[in-house]
Amino acid sequence: MIPFEKCPVCGGELASKKVEKLLRGGGNMVSLRVDAEVCQYCGERLYSEEVVKSFEEIRSKLKNNEFTFFQSLGQSFTVDKEWPNKAIHPTA
């Protein structure tokens, strides 16, 4: 799947896992689970070339408001700029 035997960041051992990934495109976001190789030491995630191409396609569809093959999960929010704790900022 991945052309690495060890983590390219730290040299740690890799393990195949299903991970949650958030992708953004325009003002839209999708949450999905995806197969990845994950470093057992530093947590770096490695994705196959095919998966990365799918990420790019998903981001493009989100940016262009093309929601075919997407299922609504509810609503998303960010904090208001007037949130009392000034260390917390809105994402948009």
The count of C-alpha atoms lying within 13 angstroms of the C-alpha of 48, restricted to the half-sphere facing its C-beta, is: 9
Q: Is the pLDDT of residue 50 over 90?
A: yes
Full residue range of the structural domain in which residue 78 is found: 1-92
Tell me the mean pLDDT in the region 33-39: 96
pLDDT at 75: 83
For residue 45, what pLDDT is reported? 97
CATH of the domain at 45: 3.10.20.860
Over residues 48-68, the mean pLDDT reads: 96
Domain count, the chain: 1
| pLDDT band, very low/low/confident/very high, at 85 (cuts 50, 70, 90) | very high
Task: Return the pLDDT at 78.
Answer: 84
Q: What is the pLDDT of residue 1?
A: 52
Is beta strand 45-46 parallel, antiparallel or unpaired with respect to 28-39?
antiparallel
